[in-house]
Structure 1
Amino acid sequence: MSHKVIYEQPLNERIRAFLRLESLFQQVRHHLGGTLPWDSRSTISSMLDIMNIFSRSDLKTEVMKELDRHTANLARLEQNPDVDRAQLAGLLDEIDTLIDELHAINGPIGAHLKGNEFLASIQQRSAIPGGTCDFDLPGYHYWLQLPAEDRIRDLAAWLECFDVIGRAVRLILRLTRGSTLFRAERAEAGFFQKSLDPNVPCQMVRVALPAGSPCFAEISGGRHRFTVRFMEQPSVNERAAQTGDNIDFELACCII
């Protein structure tokens, strides 16, 4: 395949949270440098979602556990003569640096932002459809009319506390995705199922289709098995249905 569309399915809650954070951090990076008030609105919206995720669980501990696990796995490769030792050493140093930086953070990630009344007012009104209109939050309206450099400076300062955790999540997902190569598979009549060894936990399932494929992949699964259904949707106004065709695709089961 030349250009691929990749569908991913996390098989545990930790990776599920990391993938959601990755998506939100990507949205933040996209909108942060924009100069329009709508860019700042989008950045704030994604940042509030990030804050909500961190308020529900101790993700700093989860990230550190995952980094420790990767360190142990990579350290076992040091005795393998076929491994690029310089690249391995650099990767282990990168993980050690992230762990040290996470240890240096006092308390939960982003905890100080909870006391920010400006952000709290936006978060509260965001639960109401259209609740952040100008007449609802005149202070927010005022801030959105400030010069772009002022808004970007404020946003960057608020987001700084998520920098280390964001880098750690990107590294973990890079290692997870890179742990396994894609291999060719076929779904008979648009359906594919595979059993997994529960003693060797699979972190994520990845399915690749060529760009322009008439189908998309719908993946579901758990510790013991997963299924992939290839769905056709002639129009966004029509309900998707499983194709009856045999579908050639590429599969990666990320076990690391």
Structure 2
Amino acid sequence: MIRFEHPLSERVRSFLRIEHLFNRFQTESMRQEDSPWPHHLALFTLFEIMECAGRAELKLDLLQELERQRQFAAAGRIQGAQAALSAQLQAVAENLQGIKQKFGQHLRENDWLMAIKQRMLVAGGTSPFDLPAYYFWQRQPHAHRLADLQKWAATLLPTQEAVGMLLAILRGNTAAADCVAQKGSYQSSSLAQSIHMLTIEVGMQYRALPEISANKYVTHIRFLEASQEHARGRPVTGDVPFKLMMCSFDPI
């Protein structure tokens, strides 16, 4: 099975992108390899995180949703909620509030890092003769480079923690239905209220990619053939069974 997540708001879209980038950063930075290239990708990803999560409203969005979820948990409106969840949400919010500077400001104030960031936008721009100081850093032991990456990412982690917790709540608060896309197409007008994300699980053997259009009135899903030659594959003509999960920050 393969799972596709489709955000229905710009806020959730931003959360998913930030989660994706932090996951990549953690994976590449922790690779136990002598080669410098995983750490090169980790640093590039750190710059992507800085841009993706640098929106001024993001911190406020996170704090507001954390507080809303804490109130739900305290009131017992989330199934299985306990006092521990409310305390955990409070702790995550306090960690996020504890970061007083603008997101990624310490990175922007590091001239060496910003020079690397700028050169990464140029094809081949981080060659040793372009950035000898960066080449020297790449030749340092793995543990040295890892310590630097962790130091640079440290003040970004409360944002990762907040995004991760909210997405865990979103993914755990779902209504699911087994569906069939007849001749590759599915349409429904029974989407639950206040849905913030749709999740689709489909068998890998169908080689089908969902193309989703959804609003509060109708949900339309068309499956396209997976292709490595065309940006958009041909429509699937056969029936495709799949599971549709409707995810919400609100009690369903």
TM-score under structure 2 length normalisation: 0.89
Structure 1, residues 164-211: CA drift from partner, whole Å, max 9, x if none? 11111111111101101432011122112234679x321101000123
Alignment RMSD, CA only?
2.1
CA–CA distance in 1 between the matches of 2:189 and 2:154?
42
CA–CA distance in 1 between the matches of 2:216 and 2:126?
42
SS at match of 1:212: helix
Given that 1:217 and 1:230 are in contact with CA atoms closer than 8 Å, whether structure 2 keeps it comes out as yes
Of 101, 104, 122, 2:98 maps to 104
- How big is the shift at 1:224? 4.3
CA–CA distance in 2 between the matches of 1:44 and 1:194?
43
1:174 maps to a residue whose letter is A
**Distance verdict in 2 for CA 1:196–1:99, change over 3 Å:** farther
Structure 1 residues 103-182: aligned runs within 5 Å: 103-182=97-176
Given that 1:11 and 1:223 are in contact with CA atoms closer than 8 Å, whether structure 2 keeps it comes out as no
List gaps (5 residues or longer) in structure 2: none
- How big is the shift at 1:223? 4.8
* Residue matched to 1:240: 233
Given that 1:60 and 1:108 are in contact with CA atoms closer than 8 Å, whether structure 2 keeps it comes out as no
CA–CA distance in 1 between the matches of 2:124 and 2:82?
50
> Alignment identity in percent?
29
CA–CA distance in 1 between the matches of 2:53 and 2:27?
21
CA–CA distance in 1 between the matches of 2:184 and 2:206?
13
Structure 1 residues 1-256: aligned runs within 5 Å: 4-34=1-31, 35=33, 36-77=35-76, 83-84=79-80, 88-195=82-189, 200-233=193-226, 235-237=227-229, 240-255=233-248, 256=250
- How big is the shift at 1:69? 2.1
Given that 2:47 and 2:117 are in contact with CA atoms closer than 8 Å, whether structure 1 keeps it comes out as yes
Of 238-247 and 215-224, the range deviating more from structure 2: 215-224
Structure 1, residues 55-87: CA drift from partner, whole Å, max 9, x if none? 333321121112122223333326x9xx54xx5
SS at match of 1:228: strand
2:159 maps to a residue whose letter is I
SS at match of 1:55: coil
Q: Which runs of 4+ in 1 moved over 4 A?
A: none
Given that 1:58 and 1:108 are in contact with CA atoms closer than 8 Å, whether structure 2 keeps it comes out as no
SS at match of 2:174: coil
Across the two proteins, how many residue pairs are aligned to each other? 246
TM-score under structure 1 length normalisation: 0.88
CA–CA distance in 1 between the matches of 2:131 and 2:219?
46
1:44 maps to a residue whose letter is L
CA–CA distance in 1 between the matches of 2:216 and 2:22?
28
CA–CA distance in 2 between the matches of 1:123 and 1:196?
47
CA–CA distance in 2 between the matches of 1:25 and 1:207?
23
Given that 2:71 and 2:86 are in contact with CA atoms closer than 8 Å, whether structure 1 keeps it comes out as no
- How big is the shift at 1:142? 1.1
Given that 1:207 and 1:251 are in contact with CA atoms closer than 8 Å, whether structure 2 keeps it comes out as yes
